[in-house]
Amino acid sequence: MIEIKDISKSFADKQILKGISGVFEKGKPNLIIGASGTGKSVLLKCIVELIKPDAGFVFFDNRNFTEGNKSLKIEVRREIGMLFQGGALFDSKNVEENVRFPLDMLAVMPRDEKQDRVNLVLNRVGLQNANKKMPSELSGGMRKRVGIARAIVNNPKYLFCDEPNSGLDPQTSILIDELIQSITSDYDTTTIVVTHDMNSVMGIGDNIMFIYQGEKLWEGGKSDITHSGVKELDDFVFANKVMIAMRDKNAGH
Amino acid sequence: MGFLKEIGKYFIFLGNLFVNRESFKTHYKLVVDECLLIGIDSILLFVLVSTFIGAVSTVQTAFNLVAPYIPKYVISQVVREMTVLELAPTVMAIVYAGKVGSSMSGNLGTMRITEQIDALEVMGINSINYLVLPKIVASIMMYPLLVIVSGVCALTGGYLVGVITGILAPTEYIYGIRYLFNDFTITFALIKALTFGFLVASISSYKGYYTTGGALEVGISSTKAVTTSVIAVLLADYVLAQLLLSPA
Ligand SMILES: Nc1ncnc2c1ncn2[C@@H]1O[C@H](COP(=O)(O)OP(=O)(O)O)[C@@H](O)[C@H]1O
Ligand SMILES: [Mg+2]
């Protein structure tokens, strides 16, 4: 479980995050949604302290990460797996080396065991025969899957995904969402997914936080999102033709 | 003010090179990789540029020393002094910044904008230690070697042109190379090489590491890496000459 309290962040004179609080449960995906440029990625980076928030606190299973000492920070960091928007694969390393990297750097285990673990997670994301490929040879969807494999290879307690399905076709998107969901429930991780994709929201959105211009305006589950009563959220949700059609169909009954 | 802030940030960056560091074994591999990269990147260019500079220096020195009472071997003596003191360590540092510095900066800038640096940091790895320290160590090791190579090439270039065009005889050239040779100039050249190797790698890495934005900004960082490195090299060149060469 991750808890955030009053996270604020400004760049220069522009306030990007305005005191965001919330709780992210473990065992199911927690979604952060909102339009582009509202500060979702900044919030995610503030949680893991890739960006230092100006104010506020982050607790990882009741451990105060924000005020923790260096060794606590390293300890928590090593329990984190993160999927970045473009995959962030190391482009000088092949698929297998990318996935093995966290084990090489952080884990103490024999070589064979590492290899088994790498093959296991590559299997898990459906990439059995790509071990020796270089990142430049992969499609967008494959890069994300390698990114997921690298994020989960060291058994993280916390999994962060920044727009896991942006730039992917709808079918691959659904596969990635399902993958994230099943990994989350199988390993009981605390997972936070940033997205602006309504398909994902309606698919895996049990616990959703809506951010609008740096503020949290709403939270809840996918069953309530269509009748939140929050105008900004309605504008976001019904910017999608499928959602409009669904609403009109329901209204017609 | 902005300038002082930048200098401060650069020194904090350097301080972070040694925080939370990786094992020697990890670094050993990375340093070897970087050394190979630097060597492959620049050796041909170095050989080419310094051979030509040596050749041209010989021709131009000969052109300027027309008086009959000046012995021919003075030509190669002058070429030697120019090569050891300035051409090999300093002028080649400018070439080095253009080739190796810009590629270091581009490499780190790309890693920054594609979030590869964030990916390292989020694993609890100090990306400055992991990515930059090997570059700087490799540069400190490789640049002096490249300077030696380019010194040899420049003198060879001078020899070939001097002898082929009949400016001076092979024995005269060799005599001039050895005439009144002060071996401190070699020590001085190597001190400069170590300094410049460090400056180019650390400044270029710094510029690349703190890139923000996209592909365009990576290019801008590379350009800034080269210009800033070159200015730093020239300043350091002056300071070192003042410190080590001026009569006490
Ligand atoms: N490092 C930074 N420096 C300055 N501004 C930034 C930085 N990172 C993000 N921003 C700004 O913060 C705002 C929110 O960005 P972001 O969190 O990436 O949006 P999104 O919700 O699409 O993920 C944008 O206006 C962006 O320009
Ligand atoms: Mg984003």
Token pair 């041209």 is found at B56
Element (H, E) at B223: helix B215-245
| CA dihedral over A35, A37, A41, A46, signed as positive or negative | negative
Which residues, other chains included, contact B72 with Cβ-Cβ below 8 Å and sequence gap of 6+? B167, B168, B169, B172, B176
**Residue B119 pLDDT greater than 80, yes or no:** yes
pLDDT bin (cut points 50, 70, 90) of residue B66 is confident
Q: Write down the H helix ranges in B97-214.
A: 102-113, 116-122, 127, 133-164, 170-178, 184-209
Task: Please answer yes or no on whether B118 and A88 come within 8 Å at the CB atom.
Answer: yes
- Tokens of residue A47, six digits: 């949680």
Residue B137: per-residue pLDDT: 97
pTM metric for this prediction = 0.91
Which residues, other chains included, contact B193 with Cβ-Cβ below 8 Å and sequence gap of 6+? B89, B93, B143, B144, B146, B147
With pLDDT > 90 as the criterion, what percentage of chain B qualifies? 86
**Residue B248 pLDDT greater than 70, yes or no:** no
**Closest residue (by CA) to atom 5 of ligand 1?**
A11
Give the Cα-Cα-Cα angle B41, B115, A96 (nearest 5 degrees). 75
Whether A11 and chain B come into contact, CB under 8 Å, resolves to: no
Beta bridge partners of A57: A5
Q: Tell me the C-alpha distance between B132 and B17, whole Å.
A: 7
DSSP state, residue B22: P
pLDDT bin (cut points 50, 70, 90) of residue B59 is very high
Residue A253: per-residue pLDDT: 61
Task: Report the complex ipTM.
Answer: 0.90
Task: Please answer yes or no on whether B119 and A48 come within 8 Å at the CB atom.
Answer: no
Task: Please answer yes or no on whether B123 and A105 come within 8 Å at the CB atom.
Answer: yes
Residue A43: per-residue pLDDT: 96
Interface test with A, best of B20, B37, B122, B127 (most A CBs within 10 A): B122
Residue A241: per-residue pLDDT: 82
Task: Ligand 1: list residues with CB < 6 Å.
Answer: A 11, 16, 34, 36-42; B 212
**pLDDT single digits (tens) B122-166:** 998 999 999 999 999 999 999 999 999 999 999 999 999 999 998
Residue A226: per-residue pLDDT: 87
The span from the first CA to the last CA of chain B, in angstroms, equals: 35
Q: Tell me the C-alpha distance between B83 and B57, whole Å.
A: 9
Task: Give, to the nearest 10 degrees, the angle between helix A111-124 and helix A140-152.
Answer: 130
Q: Residue A75, Cβ neighbours under 10 Å: how many?
A: 15
pLDDT tens for each residue of chain A, 253 residues long: 999 999 999 998 899 999 999 999 999 899 999 999 999 999 999 999 999 999 999 999 999 999 999 889 989 998 999 999 889 999 999 999 999 999 999 888 999 999 999 999 999 888 888 999 999 999 988 999 999 999 999 989 999 999 998 888 888 888 889 989 999 999 999 999 999 888 889 889 989 999 999 999 999 998 888 888 889 998 998 887 888 888 888 777 6
CATH topology of domain A1-79+158-165+190-253: Rossmann fold (3.40.50)
Domain regions of chain A by residue span: 1-79+158-165+190-253
Distance (Å) from CA B60 to ligand 1 centroid: 57
Q: Residue B211, Cβ neighbours under 10 Å: how many?
A: 24
